C-alpha cells in the first residue's frame, strides 16, 4: 500500500483537477449538466483512480487503476479540445491545460511501465 499524496503524478493530477474546476466555473450555464459536469467528472477520475490503486494490494492492481486513470486522461484530452473548438474554453486556458494533461499522461505511462517491468 502506498501513500498516494506523495506521488508526483497524483499531485499534478490533483492540481490539474483544481484548475479545471476553477476554469469550468465560467462555462455557460446551459453546459452545467453537459460538458461542465462531464469534464469535471472525468478530470477528477484521474487522481481518484491513482489514489484507489494505491490502496490496493500489489503492483498489478495499481497498474490496472493507473490504466483506468490514463483512460480518463484521454477522455479529458478530447473534452478540452471540444470545449476549445466550441469556444467555451479560451485559447489561453487550453494552451495551459493541454500540456499539463500530456505531462500527466506521460507520467502515468512511465509509472505503468515501471510496475509492469517489476513483474
Structural domains of the chain ordered from first start = 4-118 (1.20.1440.60)
pTM of the model: 0.95
- Joined together, the cell numbers standing for residue 97 give 491545460
> For residue range 95-111, what is the model confidence (pLDDT) as tens digits?
999 999 999 999 999 99
Averaged pLDDT of the chain:
96
> What's the CA gap between 119 and 116, in Å, rounded?
5
> What's the CA gap between 26 and 62, in Å, rounded?
35
Amino acid at each position: 500500500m502506498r501513500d498516494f499524496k506523495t506521488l508526483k503524478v497524483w499531485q499534478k493530477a490533483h492540481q490539474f483537477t483544481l484548475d479545471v474546476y476553477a476554469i469550468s466555473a465560467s462555462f455557460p450555464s446551459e453546459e452545467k449538466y453537459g460538458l461542465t459536469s462531464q469534464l469535471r467528472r472525468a478530470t477528477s477520475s484521474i487522481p481518484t483512480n491513482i489514489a484507489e490503486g494505491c490502496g490496493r494490494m500489489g503492483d498489478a492492481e495499481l497498474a490496472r487503476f493507473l490504466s483506468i486513470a490514463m483512460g480518463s486522461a484521454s477522455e479529458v484530452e478530447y473534452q478540452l479540445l471540444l470545449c476549445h473548438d466550441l469556444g467555451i474554453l479560451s485559447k489561453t486556458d487550453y494552451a495551459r491545460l493541454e500540456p499539463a494533461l500530456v505531462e500527466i499522461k506521460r507520467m502515468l505511462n512511465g509509472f505503468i511501465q515501471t510496475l509492469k517491468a517489476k513483474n
